[in-house]
Amino acid sequence: MSRLIVISNRVSRPGTSGSQGGLAVALSEALRESRGIWFGWSGETTDHFTGQIGFSEDQGVKTATIDLEEQDVDEYYNGYANKTLWPLFHFRIDLAEYARDFEGGYNRVNQRFADTVSPLVEPDDIVWVHDYHMIPLGQMLRQRGHGNRMGFFLHIPWPPTRLLVSLPHHTKLVQTLFAYDLVGFHTEEWLESFRHYVEREMGGKVAGDFVTLGDRTIQAIACPIGINAREFAAAADSAEAKAIYDQIRASLRQQAMIVGVDRLDYSKGLEERFNGYARFLKDHPEHHRKVVLTQIAPPSREDVGSYRQIRATLDSLAGRINGEYSDVDWTPIRYVNQGYPRDKLAGIYRAAPIGLVTPLRDGMNLVAKEYVAAQDPDDPGVLILSRFAGAAMQLRDALLINPYSPEEMSDAIQRALAMPLDERRRRWRAMMDSVESQDIGWWRADFTARLTALRDVEPDRVPG
Ligand code: GDG
Residues 6+ apart with CB under 8 A from 216: 178, 179, 461, 463
Segment 301-310 mean pLDDT: 88
- CA–CA distances in Å: residue 283 to residues 271, 280, 319, 363, 413: 18, 5, 19, 32, 11
- CA–CA distances in Å: residue 289 to residues 136, 327, 351, 414: 53, 8, 17, 14
Q: Which SS3 state, helix, strand or coil, does residue 182 take?
A: strand
User: Which region among 10-24, 94-108, 247-261 has the lowest average model confidence (pLDDT)?
Assistant: 10-24
For a substitution probing ligand 1, which of 10, 365, 444 has the most ligand atoms within 8 Å of its CB? 365
| pLDDT beyond 50 at 319 | yes
pLDDT at 74: 96
pLDDT at 305: 86
Residues 6+ apart with CB under 8 A from 393: 187, 188, 189, 224
DSSP labels, 33-83: HHT-EEEEEEEEEESS-----EEEEETTEEEEEEEEEHHHIIIIIIIIIII
The rounded Å distance from CA 61 to ligand 1 centre is 22
pLDDT at 460: 46
Query: Out of 181, 262, 343, 362, which one is annotated catalytic?
Result: 362
Q: Which SS3 state, helix, strand or coil, does residue 399 take?
A: strand
Helix axes 229-236, 366-373, angle to 10 degrees: 50
pLDDT at 304: 87
Confidence bin at 20 (pLDDT 50/70/90)? low
Q: DSSP character for 123?
A: T
Residue nearest to atom 18 of ligand 1 (CA): 365
Residue nearest to atom 37 of ligand 1 (CA): 339
| pLDDT beyond 90 at 455 | no
Q: Identify whether 283 is a catalytic site residue.
A: no
| pLDDT beyond 70 at 134 | yes
CA angle 228–229–231, rounded 5-degree value: 70
Question: What is the pTM assigned to this prediction?
Answer: 0.96
The answer to whether 136 and 107 are in contact (CB under 8 A) is yes
The rounded Å distance from CA 5 to ligand 1 centre is 23
Question: What are 401-454's pLDDT values in tens digits?
Answer: 999 999 999 999 999 999 999 999 999 999 999 999 999 999 999 999 999 998
**Burial of 333: CB neighbours in 10 Å, binned 0-12, 13-18, 19+:** buried
Segment 212-223 mean pLDDT: 97
**Amino acid identity at 258:** I
The rounded Å distance from CA 14 to ligand 1 centre is 17
Give the C-alpha separation, 91 to 447, whole Å: 26
pLDDT at 302: 87
413 Cα distance to chain centroid: 25
Segment 323-345 mean pLDDT: 95
Percentage of the chain modeled with pLDDT above 90: 89
| pLDDT beyond 90 at 314 | yes
The answer to whether 45 and 73 are in contact (CB under 8 A) is yes
The answer to whether 147 and 459 are in contact (CB under 8 A) is yes
Q: What mean pLDDT value characterizes the chain?
A: 94
For a substitution probing ligand 1, which of 366, 383, 393 has the most ligand atoms within 8 Å of its CB? 366
Closest-CA residue to 117 (of 7, 4, 2):
7
- CA–CA distances in Å: residue 293 to residues 159, 237, 252, 309, 366: 31, 23, 11, 22, 20
Residue nearest to atom 20 of ligand 1 (CA): 365
Atom of ligand 1 nearest to the CA of 21: 32
Q: Identify whether 155 is a catalytic site residue.
A: yes
Q: DSSP character for 386?
A: E
Beta strands per DSSP E along 298-381: 333-336, 354-357
Give the C-alpha separation, 443 to 449, whole Å: 10
Atom of ligand 1 nearest to the CA of 227: 32
Which residues line the pocket of ligand 1, CB cutoff 6 A? 19, 21, 23, 155-156, 225, 261, 263, 296, 298, 339-342, 345, 362-367, 370
| pLDDT beyond 80 at 67 | yes
Query: Out of 155, 265, 343, 397, which one is annotated catalytic?
Result: 155
Segment 386-406 mean pLDDT: 98
pLDDT at 19: 55
Give the C-alpha separation, 394 to 182, whole Å: 22
**Amino acid identity at 27:** L
| pLDDT beyond 80 at 82 | yes
Residues 6+ apart with CB under 8 A from 43: 10, 65
The kind and range of the H/E element at 306 are helix 305-325
The number of residues making up the chain comes to 464
Give the C-alpha separation, 272 to 274, whole Å: 6
Q: Which SS3 state, helix, strand or coil, does residue 402 take?
A: coil
Domains along the chain with CATH numbers: 4-226+441-461 (3.40.50.2000), 229-437 (3.40.50.2000)
pLDDT at 300: 86
The rounded Å distance from CA 87 to ligand 1 centre is 17
pLDDT at 12: 83
Give the C-alpha separation, 184 to 219, whole Å: 8
The answer to whether 292 and 258 are in contact (CB under 8 A) is yes
Question: What are 249-294's pLDDT values in tens digits?
Answer: 999 989 999 999 999 999 999 999 999 999 999 999 999 999 999 9
Residue nearest to atom 4 of ligand 1 (CA): 262
Do strands 210-213 and 205-207 pair parallel, antiparallel, or not at all (unpaired)? antiparallel
Residue nearest to atom 10 of ligand 1 (CA): 367
Give the C-alpha separation, 181 to 452, whole Å: 11
